[in-house]
Amino acid sequence: MAVIVLTSASGSPGVTSTALGLTLSWPRPAVLVEADPTGGSGTLAGFFHGNVAHTGGLMDLALAHREDALSESLPTAMMPIPESTALLLPGVRSHQQARSLAILWSPLAEALVALERNGQDVIVDAGRLGLEGAPGPLLNKADLVLLTSRSTLPALSGARSWAQTLREDFDRVGSLPRLGIVLVGAGQPYSARDVRNVLGLPVMATLPWDPDAAAVFSVGARRPRKFDRGALVRALRSAAAALQAVVDRNRADLATATSVGRPA
């Protein structure tokens, strides 16, 4: 069980599509949290074609938090994603609303960790790094923070300084094992190994360049033939397994370190 945050440095590498794709390909029921401070709910507008009312979500939780009722309100703020076992916690409608979430991120991070302890995996779309209203506390509390990048030179050039900043921040608090890359379009042109060398972070999952399949997640396009057995969905399933393995390994390492540090 895990809380996994996806974020990006520049451009639009596919955070929203990948976060939704991972949530729907996850081997257990998972919750997708739209924490992108840009607002506009990419999933409701894209995957759902704007056909589903924007109810509940983070603004309701911000109000509930003011009344000290965050945990009780969390289940009702989430909506089911049809034809799946997944849930969606819709984000804000606008970037102005995101400012009022500043007080929510810390308690929400605690509430999501509690969900995770109860067997519910959580995938967070944190949008782009450095925006006003960004969900910093979710990054601090997550089991994994994944910088999403394409493998082109402009993408890597844009991601490089953010990768360094994240690396320094996580290293300072002994959290480097919680930080990695999701590579979208591996080999187009740079390989996972090139990307690891340039960004100085491990590539924890790779996804193929597959615009038709990705459009199912990003704009609710009609599913191409053999979508469920296609390259993107298969890679998303492998990514889910690989990410869970990293979380399990990190926890095992932490448990060993804690027991070694404990007096006999």
Cβ pair 73, 47 in contact under 8 A? no
Which amino acid, 170?
F
174 binds, among ligand ADP, Mg ion, none (CB under 5 to 8 A by kind): none
Count of C-beta atoms within a 10 Å radius of residue 136? 15
**What residues between 221 and 240 interact with ligand ADP by CB under 6 A?**
232
Give the count of residues interacting with ligand ADP (CB under 6 A): 18
**C-alpha to C-alpha distance for 14 and 19, rounded to whole angstroms:** 8
Residue 154 binds ligand ADP, judged by CB under 6 A: no
Binding mask of the shown chain, residues 20 to 59, with x at each position contacting Mg ion by CB under 5 A: ----------------------x-----------------
Confirm or reject binding of residue 10 to ligand ADP (CB under 6 A): no
Among 7, 8, 23, 25, binds ligand ADP (CB under 6 A): 8
Q: Distances from the Cα of 61 to the Cαs of 44, 79, 177, 239, in angstroms?
A: 18, 13, 31, 30
57 binds ligand ADP (CB under 6 A): no
Q: Is 215 in the site for ligand ADP (CB under 6 A)?
A: yes
CB of residue 94 to ligand ADP, shortest distance in Å: 16
Residue 90 and residue 123 in contact, taking contact as beta carbons nearer than 8 Å:
no
Q: Which of 7, 10, 16, 25 touches Mg ion by CB under 5 A?
A: 16
Q: Is 129 an interacting residue with respect to ligand ADP (CB under 6 A)?
A: no
Torsion sign across C-alpha atoms 26, 31, 36, 40 = positive
- Does position 22 bind ligand ADP by CB under 6 A? no
Using DSSP's 3-state secondary structure scheme, residue 210 falls into coil
Q: Which of residues 70-89 bind ligand ADP (CB under 6 A)?
A: none
Is residue 43 involved in binding ligand ADP (CB under 6 A)?
no
Count of beta carbons in the 10 Å neighbourhood of residue 225: 7
> What is residue 147's three-state secondary structure?
strand
Of the residues 210, 240, 244, 246, which one makes contact with ligand ADP according to CB under 6 A: 210
Cβ atoms of 112 and 141 closer than 8 Å:
yes
Sorted by sequence, the CB contacts under 8 Å of residue 200 that are 6+ apart come out as 163, 164, 167
CB atoms within 10 A of CB 12: 13
Residue with smallest beta-carbon separation from ligand ADP: 14
Q: What does the binding site for ligand ADP look like in residue numbers (CB under 6 A)?
A: 8, 12-17, 42, 184-185, 207, 209-211, 214-215, 218, 232
Q: What does the binding site for Mg ion look like in residue numbers (CB under 5 A)?
A: 15-16, 42
